[in-house]
Structure 1
Amino acid sequence: MSKPVVAIVGRPNVGKSTLFNVLAGEMISIVKDTPGVTRDRIYADVSWLDQDFTLIDTGGIEPESSDIILSQMREQAQIAIDTADVIIFITDVRQGLVDADSKVADMLRRARKPVILAVNKVDNFDKFMPDVYEFYNLGIGDPNPVSASSRLGIGDLLDAVVSYFPEKTEEEEEDERPRVAIVGKPNVGKSSIINKLLGENRVIVSDIAGTTRDAIDTEIVHDGREYVFIDTAGLRRKSKIKEELERYSIIRTVTAVERADVVLMVIDAVEGVTEQDAKIAGIAHERGKGVIIVVNKWDAIEKNDKTMREYEGKIRNVLSYMPYAEIMYISAKTGQRIHKLFEMIDMVIENQSLRIATGVLNEIMTEAVAMQQPPSDKGKRLKLYYITQVSVKPPTFVIFVNDKELMHFSYTRYLENKIREAFGFRGTSLKFFIRERKEKEK
């Protein structure tokens, strides 16, 4: 089941970012960056009651003049309409209702997506309520008075948001088909890969009804197994501003990756691996998805016996934070190795769902500790008591230790490598949580 996506839309200076940060918890501002992943704070994971969702800030460039503001807001609203399940439209009680608000409200109303109207900067409910009522004139339902900076009304706002999330249906729970997202920069050949896979498998493309996103879901049957491919190449919006377009494609990527089990990260062989590729791959890494790096247009590369090794070196270097990712060299044009994709997808999904018995894990850990002593600090040595796997997709482990502070990142990485040596886990990230247990609890 993929998480719902909620987007925030609003004029400059009405408090979009403040609201975003409050909803995302303090987490966001002090997020520990994954090495190699630059972070535009566009999205965050939010939990409210028992609901988890992905929050997206559509903001971005803050323009000067009012007509540019309107066109920017329309662009943002369009992004929200295309990608989100629920939209938070934020206005400012102190500036009152302005023309741009009404025009954007018209767009949102026509989109037939649930819109929650938030009226911000209401620090005193008694005093400002008459001004809040004015926002009924937008015709998009009840205004929710909030103050993002004083954190007033946030709970009610979130209650309103999650009330629109779909009930988890039996059908969704049981959809076991592997979901594969094809991501990458524009023009790297994402659609041609899907078309080639379709051509080989002769399936009628159906846009699955009821998907709110504009990512196009394509069902492909291969060797009797059904796969759902999520393609983000669906929309090409003409945008005057390169940054907006990049931001837009990243938002699209987040929503596609969110719904996938395995991500095919497509790179153009001729162009090589770029900074933006690293940004896109970072999203899949952070979300703990299976990752296959697909180098397309391999037919266009002059080769000798070292080409592939040198090429792999470059990719591993730029995407150094995901050494587990599988790499494949294909050509959608000639069909070279394209049928091998399914074998690779199956393998990665199997690894994503692999469960390891606790006894076996502890044997590996004991052996690893014997081979390389855990770090110590000021005479205190790290002790590892116990390891167990708590979930899959991605495989997630909890390690109980005497002192969390002593468990350095590098030692966790060392244990991860030992576990990978034993079980492979090719193509999937592993997550580790470190928990403290005092000596006396043991």
Structure 2
Amino acid sequence: MRPVAPLPASDLPTVVIAGRPNVGKSTLFNRLVGRRQAIVADTPGVTRDRKEGQAVLFGRAVRVIDTAGLEEAAPDTLYGRMRVSSEHAVTAADLVLFCIDARAGITPVDAHFAAWLRRQNRPVMLVANKTEGREGAAAAMEAFSLGLGTPVAISAEHGEGLSDLMSEILDRLPPEPESPAAEDEEEFFVSEEAMEEGQEVVLPPRPPGPLRIAIVGRPNAGKSTLMNCLLGEERMITGPEPGLTRDSIAVRLHDEHGEIEVVDTAGLRKKARIAEHLEKMSVSASIEALKMAEVAILVIDATLGVHEQDLQIARLIEREGRACILALNKWDAVEDRTKTRQEIADRIEISLAQMRGIPVVAFSARTGAGVHKLLPAVRFASEVWNARVPTGELNRWFSEALERHAPPLVNGRRLKLRYVTQVKSRPPTFVLFGTRAELLPDDYRRYLVNGLRETFSLPGTPIRLQMRGTKNPYADKD
């Protein structure tokens, strides 16, 4: 039986979880999507931006959106901006799960937003959370007073009542369209024999699906403003307050080449300054998003120049083997642009030699000037990250590199390097074979990596060069 191909996220029915702060919306979101995707803490107001995930409810794929808590606040305040973002999500929902805290009872805020939901002309399901224990079901019955029908009693933290909730959600969603069957995927591997005999290694094409991008950087560099500019809407909460984004938020957009998944992440500070448990979870979510990305956009405040923490983040990107774009934001506020660009280029050349040739894009996310250059640069970086070099061309370059600069002596003996082959891309990874190749000094490895980068046009991407020594067939014989 062939698996059913998933529908694109934009074609899936949308379920929005709404309610006042700290009623368990993010815990319920994690239960529905089947993993700990949203940050959960006892602190009210942890969720500030809308977070999307895909849930499979009894075989049907559903798009689930977790929202910030609904609170009455002035529109120009942080909580007012959070409420507006949640209200926008409700207007696009196929079904709204209005979540209340049964243990706390019905509050005036619950009653206020229940009345507001009734005026939105959207299907609403009342969910009474935290109903574990003897008094839970009785407390849930108070929710009848909200006028939203029979409440569904659950405990998202303990997993109680979720089966009934999922069944109720499916009953209230539009009918499911038919989906085409997915093609079987082929597994790919490179055999040891093929590598050791120097055969041509045929690398697999880039896997299908959206191009995954992570926007990373220090707090208040303009990451969320950039996300909003790319989307063309005020999707992310922005403002002068540093550290507004607490969780990694993924959204999808399209350019002329296809679909892109962009993840906005929380700002990364120095480890010594991270004290709160909530911020530690935010940083962990940012690093996890980076590991899942193909290209990282490192956003830097151009008015402040390249900070040491920016370089640390760039080194983290290189260690994770991701392609990288250096995004100079707030370019409209830079007075001497020529001097600033040269200073940044010099700092990058000295401090990030392992990512030589990294693409640099200057723009203003606030005004949108220059942002149009970013996605083409991302596509180019992705192509380089997926680059494949034919084995014949690779070894012709290798022979010339050995002639120009012979391998050094190690313990009085010269290393005999035989050939090199590319075993994978994403990032480009090469294996060099030869007698005692594993003893090759680091400076000669850098010489080879720089030659690979320049000869085969691999700017800015991490390059992995692994060494494999050949075995002496007479070593174990008398």
Same fold (TM over 0.5): yes
From 295, 298, 303, the equivalent of 1:265 is 298
Spell out, residue by residue over 1:162-196, the C-alpha distance to the aligned partner (whole angstroms, 9 max, x if none): xxxxxxx9699764211110001111000111111
Residues 387 and 218 (structure 1 numbering): CA distance in 2 closer, same or farther, change over 3 Å?
same
Deviation at 1:315, TM superposition (A): 3.2
CA–CA distance in 2 between the matches of 1:226 and 1:285?
Answer: 25
Aligned residue for 2:403, secondary structure, equals: helix
- Confirm or deny: 8 A CA contact 1:269 1:296 kept in the other structure: yes
From 291, 309, 321, the equivalent of 1:276 is 309
From 213, 218, 236, the equivalent of 1:180 is 213
| Corresponding residue of 1:339 | 372
Q: Within 5 Å, give how 1:418-437 maps onto structure 2.
A: 418-437=451-470
Deviation at 1:198, TM superposition (A): 1.6
Residue-pair matches, total: 279
| Corresponding residue of 1:414 | 447
Residues 322 and 74 (structure 1 numbering): CA distance in 2 closer, same or farther, change over 3 Å?
farther
CA–CA distance in 2 between the matches of 1:436 and 1:318?
Answer: 31
CA–CA distance in 2 between the matches of 1:311 and 1:375?
Answer: 35
Structure 1 counterpart of 2:210, which letter?
R
CA–CA distance in 2 between the matches of 1:241 and 1:287?
Answer: 21
Structure 2 counterpart of 1:361, which letter?
L
Q: Within 5 Å, give how 1:101-180 maps onto structure 2.
A: 175-180=208-213
CA–CA distance in 2 between the matches of 1:354 and 1:434?
Answer: 20
TM-score (norm 2): 0.51
Aligned residue for 1:339, secondary structure, equals: helix
CA–CA distance in 2 between the matches of 1:172 and 1:395?
Answer: 26
CA–CA distance in 2 between the matches of 1:353 and 1:171?
Answer: 23
- Confirm or deny: 8 A CA contact 2:428 2:464 kept in the other structure: yes
Structure 2 counterpart of 1:330, which letter?
F
- Confirm or deny: 8 A CA contact 1:250 1:280 kept in the other structure: no
Q: Within 5 Å, give how 1:5-404 maps onto structure 2.
A: 175-199=208-232, 214-233=247-266, 242=275, 247-303=280-336, 305-404=338-437
Deviates more, 1:317-326 or 1:260-269: 317-326
- Confirm or deny: 8 A CA contact 1:376 1:406 kept in the other structure: no
Aligned residue for 2:284, secondary structure, equals: helix
Amino-acid identity (%): 38
CA–CA distance in 2 between the matches of 1:429 and 1:189?
Answer: 25
Aligned residue for 1:354, secondary structure, equals: coil
CA–CA distance in 2 between the matches of 1:181 and 1:139?
Answer: 32
Deviation at 1:274, TM superposition (A): 1.9
Instruction: State the superposition RMSD in angstroms.
Output: 4.0
- Confirm or deny: 8 A CA contact 2:263 2:289 kept in the other structure: yes
Aligned residue for 2:355, secondary structure, equals: coil
Aligned residue for 1:429, secondary structure, equals: coil
Say which structure is richer in helix: 1
Deviation at 1:74, TM superposition (A): 6.6
Aligned residue for 2:371, secondary structure, equals: coil
Deviation at 1:438, TM superposition (A): 3.2
- Confirm or deny: 8 A CA contact 1:381 1:406 kept in the other structure: no
- Confirm or deny: 8 A CA contact 1:383 1:402 kept in the other structure: yes
CA–CA distance in 1 between the matches of 2:397 and 2:266?
Answer: 43
- Confirm or deny: 8 A CA contact 2:431 2:467 kept in the other structure: yes
Aligned residue for 1:388, secondary structure, equals: strand
- Confirm or deny: 8 A CA contact 2:306 2:344 kept in the other structure: no
CA–CA distance in 2 between the matches of 1:393 and 1:251?
Answer: 23
Deviation at 1:218, TM superposition (A): 1.3
TM-score (norm 1): 0.55
CA–CA distance in 2 between the matches of 1:285 and 1:171?
Answer: 34
Deviation at 1:391, TM superposition (A): 0.6
Deviation at 1:294, TM superposition (A): 0.7
Deviates more, 1:247-256 or 1:176-185: 247-256
- Confirm or deny: 8 A CA contact 2:305 2:340 kept in the other structure: no
Deviates more, 1:178-187 or 1:299-308: 299-308
- Confirm or deny: 8 A CA contact 1:216 1:234 kept in the other structure: no
